[in-house]
Chains A and B, each alone.
Chain A
């Protein structure tokens, strides 16, 4: 691995160097206190020092709304929609959001590989950046450090007056080639940034905790405070559920079949004809969301399907924290099952 040093004052030039090679997507300010990944038009507007973006970069691979096909009502025919896969360089991605993309890669290639997502994933370069964990990040608890480089082509590790540039792949090397404003790498002590927010148990024990939590009173307690707004699904970088609707234009002659993000916390997500709603209560929906992150997919892949970005808690207007939920379930598990370890665990599920 090649290492360099990038001084703060050279960052705009670095961004311009990237822009010469493809579309660059990077964090910008949004609103009063927030950030969002957008296409770079002015290199000076790129922000590398940020806590989290409102939406993760999944929006570039699974857009909030996406046209699946166009049709003509008068002809009763459809045309295919071209899926763009231009060279794109993602600059300033946090380790947990990169891990989330790798998880979505699994979801969209597993069993029925979907060309819409997978094609958009081609020709992407990822340049990671370190961050200072705030009160909501807890990636460490799900096995992702600030400095985790998996998935990145280049990683920028912040130090006092700039970034240590780690060139991780051939692609990364190709991207950086010709950029001369790099210095020799600084001698850095091993960095290992600490997280304030933590899950109590090691994450590999959580499926076991969930196994015993189906009937926990925690679900009802959380449901009392939850308004079912779906925010926690819609901001989650590893959520990928969607709805499909047909839209027609005003001529009533042409239209499109479109999909848009959906979420299992929403009231009618599991409702079918005849009035049956298979997850009618907020408690059952909250439980499903948490199990999706720490049990269902985990049982199949061995990994938690939450990357600890903290978005669901940071953006929940009711201040519901996934870490608190997990820790409450863990406390209960400890009290009910570990203390009386002599008794065999009751099979609840």
Chain B
């Protein structure tokens, strides 16, 4: 019988980093155990520095870090042109992450700043996720990015299928692991409206979720604020908590 769903050829991948907290850097992450298995399926054509003569197209480009300078903007356009699939690694790249905290002054229309005639006059831009500038096919969330999710997406792409985009909240994974809820230990946790996919790693170790994977689709943010304030946070503290990782995507929501 012929192999139907197992991959036939190696996929060409490239990896780049932009402005990030450096927490995600692929090479630093605990991937050692998996790296040999992964390399079986891929050919790494670029690593960190794009060199024009090296490769002009990639099947998948993995990018970490957010966009914060005009040079980044040019570079990301260039990568997008060469990449069939573009994957954002970690919250800096996927949702702007903590880098976006600095934009808490209202962001004007970002695109206008970027493409306006004065663009070279701005040495730094508000920190933005990649998706503010180019189309992003898949996002691996988390700060640092979630390794299980990275492997999940990697395997799916190597098999030529679309990775599953988790859209249920962290509480689901927490319940599957039968954790005691941290609210019952007097803490407050962002699990109820944060996108799952990390196997509820923080609550499982007694740490509340800070929301590093961004919000679920259609979050009921007002209800979440009520929960936080009912459990002892002031409204201001509650808003700040929610903004930590969501200030780019939801700058106005919590004001």
Interchain CB contact under 8 A, B159 and A252? yes
Interface SS majority for chain A: loop
**In the bound complex, what is the Cα–Cα distance between A248 and B155 (angstroms)?**
8
Q: Please judge, given known A-B contacts A73-B3, A226-B223, whether A32 and B151 are in contact too, CB under 8 Å.
A: no
**Across the A-B interface, how many residue pairs have beta carbons closer than 8 Å?**
125
Q: Complex formed: what's the CA distance from A229 to B192 in Å?
A: 5
Also in contact, A32 and B184, with CB within 8 A (given A227-B223, A227-B224): yes
When the two chains form their complex, are residues A33 and B185 in contact, meaning their CB atoms are under 8 A apart? Answer: yes
Bitwise, A206-241 to B at CB < 8 A (1) or not (0) is 000000000000000001111111110011000000
Residue of B whose beta carbon sits closest to that of A266: B168
Query: Which residue of the partner chain B has the closest CB to A253?
Result: B6
Task: Say which one of A15-23, A165-173, A314-322 lies at the interface with B.
Answer: A314-322
Cβ–Cβ contact A76 & B184, under 8 A = no
Q: Kindly report which residue of chain A lies nearest to residue B38, judged by CB atoms.
A: A250
Please measure, in the bound complex, the distance between the C-alpha atom of A226 and the C-alpha atom of B7, giving whole angstroms.
Answer: 43
A227 to B230, CA, bound (A): 14
Shortest B115–chain A CB gap in Å is 30
Which of B172, B185, B218 counts the most A-chain CB atoms under 10 A from its CB?
Answer: B172
A55 at the interface (CB under 8 A from B): yes
Let me know if B180 and A250 touch, CB within 8 A.
Answer: no
Residue B171 is within 8 A (CB to CB) of chain A in the complex: yes
- Residue from A55, A227, A260 having most chain B Cβ neighbours under 10 A: A227
Bound-state CA distance A59–B226 (Å) is 32
Q: Is B220 an interface residue (CB 8 A)?
A: yes
A227 near B168: Cβ-Cβ < 8 Å: no
Q: Give chain B residues whose Cβ lies under 8 Å from the Cβ of A317.
A: 171, 181, 183, 189, 192, 227
Q: Mark out the residues of chain A between 258 and 274 whose CB falls within 8 Å of any chain B CB in the assembled complex.
A: 260-261, 263, 266-268
How many of B's residues come within 8 Å of A, CB to CB?
Answer: 47
Interface centre among B171, B178, B193 (most CB of A within 10 A): B178
| 1/0 contact string of B35-47 vs chain A (CB within 8 Å) | 0011011000000
Distance in Å: Cβ of A110 to nearest Cβ of chain B? 25
Residues of the A chain whose Cβ atoms lie less than 8 Å from the Cβ of B177 = 64
- Across the interface, A74 reaches (CB within 8 A) one of B6, B155, B224, namely B6
Please pick, from B7, B167, B172, the residue contacting A229 in the complex, using a CB distance under 8 A.
B172
**Of the candidates A228, A250, A260, which one forms a contact with B151 in the assembled complex, judged by CB atoms under 8 Å apart?**
A250
Chain A hits for B184, CB < 8 A: 31-34, 315
Pair A225/B1 contact, Cβ less than 8 Å: no
Q: B181: which A residues are within 8 A, CB to CB?
A: 231, 315, 317
- Does B54 touch A at the CB level, under 8 Å? no
Q: Is the CB of A252 within 8 A of B155?
A: yes
Assess the A65–B176 pair: CB atoms within 8 A: yes
- Does A30 sit within 8 A of B, measured CB to CB? yes
Contact A267 B218 (CB under 8 A): yes
Q: Given that A76-B1, A230-B168, A234-B172 are known contacts, is A55 also in contact with B178, CB under 8 Å in the complex?
A: yes
- A230 cross-chain contacts in B, Cβ below 8 A: 168-169, 171-172, 175
A54 within 8 A of B: yes
Q: How far is the CA of A260 from the CA of B151 in the complex (A)?
A: 19
User: How far apart sit A71 and B112, CA to CA, in the bound complex (Å)?
Assistant: 52
Whole-angstrom CA separation of A231 from B171 in the bound complex: 7
B101 within 8 A of A: no
Contact yes or no, B192 A31, CB < 8 A: no
Binary contact readout A47-60 vs B (1 if CB under 8 angstroms, 0 otherwise): 00000001100010
Considering only residues 157-210 of chain B, those with a C-beta below 8 Å from chain A are 158-159, 164, 167-169, 171-172, 175-181, 183-185, 189, 191-193
Residue contact A267 to B167, C-beta cutoff 8 Å: yes
Residue in B closest to A34 when the chains form the complex, CB atoms: B180
Q: Say yes or no for B219: interface residue by CB 8 A criterion.
A: yes
Q: Is B5 an interface residue (CB 8 A)?
A: yes
Q: Which residue of A lies closest to B181 (CB)?
A: A315
Q: Which of B6, B179, B192 contacts A227 (CB 8 A)?
A: B192
Tell me if B30 counts as interface (CB < 8 A to partner A). no
B227–A227 CB distance below 8 A: yes
Would you call A95 an interface residue if the criterion is a C-beta within 8 Å of the partner chain's C-beta atoms? no
Which of A73, A77, A260, A267 makes the CB contact (< 8 A) with B217?
Answer: A267
Provide a sorted-by-A list of 27 A–B residue pairs whose CB atoms are within 8 angstroms: A30-B180, A34-B180, A54-B180, A65-B176, A73-B5, A73-B6, A75-B1, A76-B4, A224-B223, A228-B169, A228-B218, A229-B169, A230-B172, A231-B175, A231-B181, A231-B192, A234-B171, A234-B176, A251-B37, A252-B41, A252-B155, A266-B172, A268-B168, A317-B189, A317-B192, A317-B227, A318-B226
Additional pairs, 10, CB under 8 Å, beyond known A76-B5, A252-B40: A55-B175, A74-B6, A76-B2, A231-B181, A252-B155, A266-B172, A267-B216, A317-B171, A317-B181, A319-B230
B residues lining the A interface (CB < 8 Å)? 1-7, 34, 37-38, 40-41, 151, 155, 158-159, 164, 167-169, 171-172, 175-181, 183-185, 189, 191-193, 216-220, 222-224, 226-227, 230
Q: Which 10 A-B pairs have the closest CB atoms?
A: A31-B180, A234-B175, A250-B37, A73-B6, A229-B192, A229-B171, A64-B176, A34-B180, A227-B192, A227-B223
